[in-house]
Amino acid sequence: MVEERKHSLSPSAWNRYETCPRMYWLSRQRLPRKAGMAASLGTAVHASIEDLLQIDLAGREPAESNWILGEADALLRKRWEEEKQIFHDTPRHPNWKEDKYREAQKQQKGAINMLLDHVGVQGLAHDRITIALWKKIQSLTIAVEGELVTKDGHLMGRLDLLLADVDDSGKLTGWLVADLKTGKPPQGKLKPEVNRQLRMYRDILLSNNEKAPPVQAQGWYTDTSSKWDAVGDNVLEAAYEAWDATKPSETPLDPTPGQSSCGGFCDWKAWCPHWWNWRHQNKSLHKGDFADGVVILHQYDEGRSTATVEECVPRNDLGDVEPTGQMRNVTFDGRGKEVLEALLDDGHQGPIFLGSAMMNREVWRVGPWCDVLPWAPIPDSGKP
């Protein structure tokens, strides 16, 4: 009962559930988390924009220009360093790519352009942004990084920006939920999962504020400084259904293996037997660049960073392994090598899961971006 009361669903958790209920369930099992460069970059850019919108400009000369570039970069650098630390503290992480900082700067500039656009200013060089202009943007900012929660606490989300829409006379005409996105901009229209996420923000806001003006939610894609409207009906009823279906349970939720779930980004394959059976059945196991596999390690040469492994296939749908006798040479480098060696130092002996390895070649390659984990599938009963 206590557990149940604490259960709340965010848009990203809902999306995970819609992609594959088992993926959602696994994500709640306190398994070792995975960090990624794209997510860290996005968080640093978000946080720096939020900081910039909250910067104290009291007492500054309104006509002062040539200030924002330095401030913005100092804030970004601070957030970047914080994210780097979090990234390295996350148990599963690839190599940190310092050269991505330039991309973060570009994305931050894209976000500033969209804020300028919100007050009707386009194409202004950032060194010409005055204190007065930034104060105007700040004055239209109702909330920054606000937590949105339904009154019953069941649905929640983290809202990047809530801005006031005003007409030419300065009169409030509506609220704008702007969600900063540092990923690839949409082609034609928002992806359904992003549209759903934005509508969830919109609808929680409306349900909590009976007297709210019209609310529009937009995805703000910093890469191209393009704004995309969320459109569609209220999603709260469907969100509550998902909340109900995702209540904490000892028994794993059903898997929906397939190309769009397992073939996309699922961080929990080392604990799921279903992608493995699905791949084996459709004969795509151990095929392709960035493929996943389960192997038994027979020999490892630390000096040359090469191993001889035996390919395994599923013996049943519990995740038990059937060695095939098919031997492979594998090279390990970067984080892939470090993690394998740590695993061997820990005395690991059983089968090993290799995630996103390059298998389209004579000698497989396990590089810095790969997962190397003990194969520890959780069967459908939940009891390993």
Interaction site with ligand SF4 (CB under 6 A): 20, 22-23, 26, 255, 257, 261-262, 266, 268-269, 272, 274-275
Query: Is the CB of 76 or the CB of 272 nearer to ligand SF4?
Result: 272
DSSP structural state of residue 24: H
- Shortest gap between Cβ of 383 and ligand SF4 (angstroms)? 17
Query: Is the CB of 80 or the CB of 271 nearer to ligand SF4?
Result: 271
Query: Is the CB of 134 or the CB of 353 nearer to ligand SF4?
Result: 353
Most distant CA atoms of the chain, gap in Å:
77
Query: Is the CB of 11 or the CB of 255 nearer to ligand SF4?
Result: 255
Query: Is the CB of 208 or the CB of 259 nearer to ligand SF4?
Result: 259
Q: How far is 180 from 104, CA to CA, in rounded Å?
A: 13
Strands (E), the chain: 141-149, 156-166, 172-181, 215-221, 226-229, 291-301, 306-314, 321-332, 352-357, 364-366, 371-374
Q: Which residues contact 209 (CB under 8 A, 6 or more apart)?
A: none
- Shortest gap between Cβ of 270 and ligand SF4 (angstroms)? 9
The phi, psi pair for 34, rounded to 5°, reads: -120, 135
**Strand order through the sheet with 321-332:** 364-366, 321-332, 306-314, 291-301, 352-357, 371-374
Q: How far is 273 from 380, CA to CA, in rounded Å?
A: 9
- Shortest gap between Cβ of 353 and ligand SF4 (angstroms)? 11
Q: How far is 179 from 159, CA to CA, in rounded Å?
A: 7
- Shortest gap between Cβ of 5 and ligand SF4 (angstroms)? 27
- Please report the DSSP string for 68-118 in residue order: HHHHHHHHHHHHHHHHHHHHHHSSB-----GGGHHHHHHHHHHHHHHHHHH
Query: Is the CB of 169 or the CB of 260 nearer to ligand SF4?
Result: 260
- Shortest gap between Cβ of 312 and ligand SF4 (angstroms)? 16
- Shortest gap between Cβ of 371 and ligand SF4 (angstroms)? 12
- Shortest gap between Cβ of 95 and ligand SF4 (angstroms)? 24
Q: How far is 184 from 353, CA to CA, in rounded Å?
A: 29
Query: Is the CB of 102 or the CB of 283 nearer to ligand SF4?
Result: 283
- Shortest gap between Cβ of 23 and ligand SF4 (angstroms)? 4
Which amino acid, 135? K
DSSP structural state of residue 185: P
Query: Is the CB of 20 or the CB of 359 nearer to ligand SF4?
Result: 20
Q: Is the dihedral of CA 333, 339, 341, 343 positive or negative?
A: negative
Q: How far is 258 from 261, CA to CA, in rounded Å?
A: 5
Per the CB < 8 A criterion, the answer to whether 218 and 178 are in contact is yes
Query: Is the CB of 20 or the CB of 161 nearer to ligand SF4?
Result: 20
- Shortest gap between Cβ of 214 and ligand SF4 (angstroms)? 38
